[in-house]
């Protein structure tokens, strides 16, 4: 039996789930579905357990999220075949092309199961059964897409028409239909031949490459060049920027699936949702007898049909209905459920104003741990820094700021101008302006410290990096929100 390689697409920012999902930490890296701690990305892989001849996955992500992806895979004890880093977003056709080229690089021709990292599928067993049902058709060279059996005349999804009555095996595709209005959606469902377009696929690597070469040769050419000139970076493969940036920005549906004569649709009925809004998340989650979904520190009285989520502070609701309330470290969202899908416009407004909250949380994750901006004033700011066991910040210096570090938990090694000192809890050190310094954690528990910065300029682009175990350069860091 042919090996099956999961191809997990981790791009996208999920702005309709703001303020939780933001560019620095999108929805696929959050635990949004179910009562556990597994993120959507982790669930995407774990629901595959039990599929025959399952090979290690290929993951494709934005280069700024590479350490998040690697850490979340490590947490569920998965060693990917590769984590491919996109220097810029170019939609799903280039991502699929890169995956197919990478999968066939050693002369093999596996099945590729293309999945989005941010979908919810409640019935994992039904999903696995459907994947197996499409296997023979895909091995025969057809391009199988999974069509979601509709539960309502949705206007937010594209539709796929089957050329034959739908059954439990793939059937030829007649056409794709763009997102319809409600009246049209009702007419489509009445025929019994339409499913929602899920954006999930199953095909042989050689089959999708052949159709890409025939229908979108410029995509394959650019992706092949980006792979031929890629740069190994720790556990990652960094695609060559110029070649990949020159690739057309096009979806695999548009580039291939809507034009090929080898397409087949297989109906999937497994509790699927793309969780494209807070209202969609409320609909797919387990609700209490009052119709509420409660997450975190929440107290609700006389409350009905609400989604209430607390990440930090206590959230209390009294006598309200049909609301979405989401509390994060720096934003509180209150919206009517029917208006929740309009949040994207609010994010756009914040971006135009240059508001930090549009893209980043107060807490920012880095390969060595995380840091949290606690408070700030004129010429000073305070941060809480957490350094993981065995991790280390880069060796660096600043031109415009000095820093004072106070260890509150664990043990830290501090290097200053070539000299090292060991700091325990309640001990501190001062880093003067221009001092070459580094912070490391030699212990087995996380180091937590308070950093007080002071100076004429506190921007995160005031950094000169001399050494970094994570392969980050100053040019890469300057564009990021927190470049330590």
The tens digit of pLDDT for each residue in 117-155 reads 999 999 999 999 999 999 999 999 999 999 999 988 988
**Quick check: helix, strand or coil at residue 83?**
strand
Instruction: Put the strands of the sheet holding 323-327 in their side by side order.
Output: 293-295, 307-310, 323-327, 332-336
d(CA 101, CA 110): 11
Calculate mean pLDDT across residues 69-87.
92
Q: In the structure encoding, which two tokens stand for residue 331, read together?
A: 């934003």
Instruction: Put the strands of the sheet holding 369-377 in their side by side order.
Output: 363-366, 369-377, 380-387, 447-455, 401-409, 428-431
Calculate mean pLDDT across residues 292-299.
96
d(CA 466, CA 395): 5
Write down how long the chain is.
484
Domains detected in the chain: 4-273 (3.90.550.10), 284-343 (no CATH), 364-478 (2.60.120.10)
Contact between residue 317 and residue 348 where contact means Cβ atoms under 8 Å apart: no
For residue 480, the model assigns a pLDDT of: 40
Alpha-helix residue ranges (DSSP H) falling in 147-305: 182-191, 205-215, 217-228, 241-245, 252, 278-284
Element housing 46 (H / E): helix 40-46
Percentage of the chain lying above the pLDDT 90 cut: 77
pLDDT tens, position by position, 13-23: 788 999 999 98
Which of 128-137 are b and which e, b meaning 16 or more Cβ less than 10 Å from the residue's Cβ?
Answer: bebbebbbeb
Q: Whole-number mean pLDDT of the chain?
A: 91
Calculate mean pLDDT across residues 81-101.
93
For residue 476, the model assigns a pLDDT of: 40
Q: In the structure encoding, which two tokens stand for residue 470, read together?
A: 């994570």
- Is 472's pLDDT higher than 70? no
Contact between residue 150 and residue 195 where contact means Cβ atoms under 8 Å apart: yes
Nearest to 357 by CA among 66, 20, 118: 20
CA geometry: angle 137, 121, 336, nearest 5 deg: 135
């Amino acid at each position: 039996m042919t090996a099956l390689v999961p191809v997990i697409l981790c791009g996208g920012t999920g702005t309709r789930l703001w303020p939780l999902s933001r560019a620095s930490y999108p929805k696929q890296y959050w635990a949004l579905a179910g009562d556990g701690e597994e993120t959507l990305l982790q669930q995407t892989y774990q629901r595959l357990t039990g599929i025959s001849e399952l090979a290690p996955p290929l993951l494709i992500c934005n280069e700024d999220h590479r350490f998040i992806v690697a850490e979340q895979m490590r947490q569920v004890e998965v060693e990917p075949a590769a984590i491919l880093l996109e220097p810029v977003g170019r939609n799903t056709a280039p991502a699929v092309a890169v995956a197919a080229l990478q999968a066939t690089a050693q002369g093999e021709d596996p099945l590729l199961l293309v999945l989005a990292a941010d979908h919810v599928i409640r019935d994992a067993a039904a999903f696995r059964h459907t994947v197996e049902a499409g296997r023979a058709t895909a091995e025969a060279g057809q391009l199988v897409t999974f069509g979601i059996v509709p539960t309502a005349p949705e206007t937010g999804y594209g539709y796929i028409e089957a050329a034959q009555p739908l059954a439990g095996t793939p059937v030829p595709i007649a056409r794709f239909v763009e997102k319809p209005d409600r009246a049209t959606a009702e007419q489509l469902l009445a025929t019994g031949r339409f499913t929602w377009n899920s954006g999930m696929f199953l095909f042989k690597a050689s089959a999708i490459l052949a159709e890409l070469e025939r229908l979108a040769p410029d995509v394959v050419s650019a992706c092949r060049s980006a792979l031929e000139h890629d740069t190994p970076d720790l556990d990652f493969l960094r695609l060559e920027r110029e070649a990949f940036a020159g690739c057309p920005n096009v979806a695999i549906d548009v580039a291939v699936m809507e034009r090929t004569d080898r397409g087949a649709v297989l109906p999937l009925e497994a509790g699927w949702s793309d969780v494209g809004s807070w209202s969609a998340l409320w609909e797919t989650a387990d609700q209490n007898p009052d119709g509420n979904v409660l997450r975190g520190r929440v107290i609700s009285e006389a409350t009905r049909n609400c989604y209430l989520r607390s990440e930090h502070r206590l959230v209390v609701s009294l006598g309200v209905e049909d609301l979405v309330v989401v509390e994060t470290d720096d934003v509180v969202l209150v919206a009517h459920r029917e208006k929740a899908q309009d949040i994207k416009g609010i994010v756009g407004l914040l971006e135009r104003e240059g508001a930090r909250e549009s893209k980043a949380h107060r807490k920012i994750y880095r390969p060595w741990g995380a840091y949290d901006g606690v408070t700030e004033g004129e010429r000073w700011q305070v941060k809480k820094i957490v350094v993981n066991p065995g991790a280390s910040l880069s060796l660096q210096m600043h031109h415009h700021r000095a820093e004072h570090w106070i260890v509150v938990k664990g043990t830290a090694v501090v290097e200053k101008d070539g000299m090292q000192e060991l700091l325990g809890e309640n001990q501190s050190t001062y880093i003067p302006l221009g001092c070459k310094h580094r912070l490391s954690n030699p212990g087995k528990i996380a180091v937590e410290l308070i950093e007080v910065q002071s100076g004429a300029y506190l921007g995160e682009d005031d950094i000169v990096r001399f050494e970094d175990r994570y392969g980050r350069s100053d040019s890469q860091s300057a564009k990021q929100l927190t470049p330590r």
